Amino acid sequence: MSNGMFRRKSLQKVMADSESGHNLKRVLGPWALTALGIGAIIGTGIFVLVGKAARDVTGPALMLSFVFAGLACIFSALCYAEFASMAPVAGSAYTYAYLTLGELMAWIIGWDLVLEYAVASCTVAHGWSKYFQDILKQFEIYIPTALTNAPFDIAKGGEVVSTGSILDLPAVVISLIITLILVRGIRESAFINGIMVMVKLAVVFFVIFAGIPHIVTSNWTDNFAPFGYGGLSFFGNLVWGDINPATNAPSGVLAGAALIFFAYLGFDAVSTSAEEAKNPKRDMPFAIIGSLLICTVLYIAVAAVLTGMVNYKDIPKEAPVASVFALVGMPWARLLVSIGALTGITSVLLVMMCGQPRIFLAMARDGLLPEKFFASVHPVYQTPWLATMLTGLIVALGGSLLPLDVLAELTNIGTLFAFVVVCAAVLILRFKDPDAPRSFKAPLGLFCPIGGIVLCLVLMFSLGWENWVRLFIWLAIGLAIYFAYGFHHSKLRIEDHNKLANKF
């Protein structure tokens, strides 16, 4: 084991630490875990992004964008599944990095995961508020303007503008409700999530089967890829494809994949609950891969139905699924789909807010965060209750006070970075410890992790340079915290120091 910041944990120590008194209750079976994955994935992406993507970026070729983005995700999902079966503990990518890349990289990825879980939850809470307000408006119920939005927004030129609001009250309320559910217990949380998953799946199937009779095939065949198949960009600058003059942004199948890729985010949240799975070595790969495949098929089907029902130019950007049904003479479907969307977003928020405290728990076990607080497990509910309450406070404040676009962009690049690290960690472990026990091994040899790295980097580099600046600033803040606290309190560092002292 190397010294300093690059010391690595052994698999045996990771498993031993998970049984060190901060252990969680193992109550989740394969279908509950799969429901967690579906709950985290299907949300605003399928109900919102399809409209903007089809109208401005891809046209009916949006189906191919979902295939490409799904392919990028499946490589990463297979790598997550391999690790989750080897080390079925809380921590997800943080733990996997500690096993293979060392403590410093583990801290970096653990800090980065705050972007994927806590900041993403802020984004989802903000989106939940918009759908909730839309449903209220259908019944002519209006929340005071001062309580409907974040107090400021960022204009296209980067200018900070006032929204006229004080805070987003619905975002605060839903964040606190979810927090109380999560503190109460993972079994209860999984049960509630299971109900919400069934509701939103029912709505998705309604969209597909109710929409099929209204499909006009000429909407596909007359102009399948009006924006082309390119749209590849580097730091926001076009490399291959065309610019849509209406939006002044890259367009085409690849540009669409970069946009709707984030509709897939959440499958990795299953891995944060590995320590609460009854049979994690068998069930984690099943749930991670199963939830992603189910959602991919549903996404492609919804994209096909929507672009077949009306011309892609007529798909509204706002509430596209509900609005398309109104265009074909089914206005009553708007409320049904809106309720399904609200339910879907609620389950996403629940699963993402469930993941963040378990990342904190894993980091605190290693001494990188204060253990008495972040690793505190409730004596009755057996949940990381203090870390959960802190997460709820962060989400309530962030979701109600910060603008949506800034939150979403931080989430996007942070998640892709985590995917790259996990794929790289699998690649490294194949060489460093090829004989390690693996109940599941990602297929296709080295092609799977390498493919995941390449495809995720392509999507990362397609993001504008300002996203990279924000990521580096965030990581710099994290490094400052590590060197101020984590490095000095690292249990692995202290153990190594004591072993060295005992030799003399």
- For 133-161, what is the HEC assignment? HHHHHHCCCCCCHHHECCCEEECCCCCEE
| Whether 305 contacts 211, CB under 8 Å | yes
Give the mean pLDDT of 26-45.
83
pLDDT value at residue 169: 94
| Whether 228 contacts 251, CB under 8 Å | yes
**N-term to C-term CA, the chain:** 19
pLDDT value at residue 19: 62
Would the pLDDT of 101 be above 50?
yes
pLDDT band at 18 (very low <50, low <70, confident <90, very high): low
Mean pLDDT of the chain: 85
Give the mean pLDDT of 73-79.
89
Give the mean pLDDT of 253-277.
81
Give the mean pLDDT of 221-228.
89
Would the pLDDT of 272 be above 80?
no
Q: What is the pLDDT of residues 442-452, one digit of tens each?
A: 888 899 999 99
Strands 232-234 vs 237-240: parallel, antiparallel or unpaired: antiparallel
User: Which of the two residues, 463 and 418, has the higher pLDDT score?
Assistant: 418
- pTM recorded for the entire structure: 0.84
Give the mean pLDDT of 145-158.
76
Rounded distance between C-alpha atoms, residue 313 and residue 1, angstroms? 59
Whose tokens are 């890829």? That residue is 225
Give the mean pLDDT of 374-400.
90
pLDDT value at residue 405: 67
| Whether 59 contacts 242, CB under 8 Å | no
Give the mean pLDDT of 80-101.
82
Percent of the chain with pLDDT over 90: 26
- Residue-range domains of the chain with CATH: 4-496 (1.20.1740.10)
pLDDT value at residue 157: 56
Give the mean pLDDT of 257-280.
80
Give the mean pLDDT of 162-174.
90
Least confident of 46-60, 152-166, 299-313, 381-395: 152-166
pLDDT value at residue 424: 92
Rounded distance between C-alpha atoms, residue 34 and residue 503, angstroms? 49
58: nearest Cα among 300, 319, 405: 300
pLDDT band at 304 (very low <50, low <70, confident <90, very high): very high
Whose tokens are 């204060």? That residue is 370
For 147-222, where are the E strands, in sequence order? 152-154, 160-162
Would the pLDDT of 28 be above 60?
yes
User: Which of the two residues, 374 and 83, has the higher pLDDT score?
Assistant: 374
Would the pLDDT of 46 be above 80?
no
Helices (H), 212-332: 218-221, 253-260, 280-309, 320-327
What residues form DSSP beta bridges with 250?
243
Would the pLDDT of 182 be above 60?
yes
Q: What's the helix, strand, coil split of the chain in %, to 5?
A: 70, 5, 25
pLDDT value at residue 2: 46
pLDDT value at residue 1: 43
Percent of the chain with pLDDT over 70: 94
Rounded distance between C-alpha atoms, residue 162 and residue 120, angstroms? 23
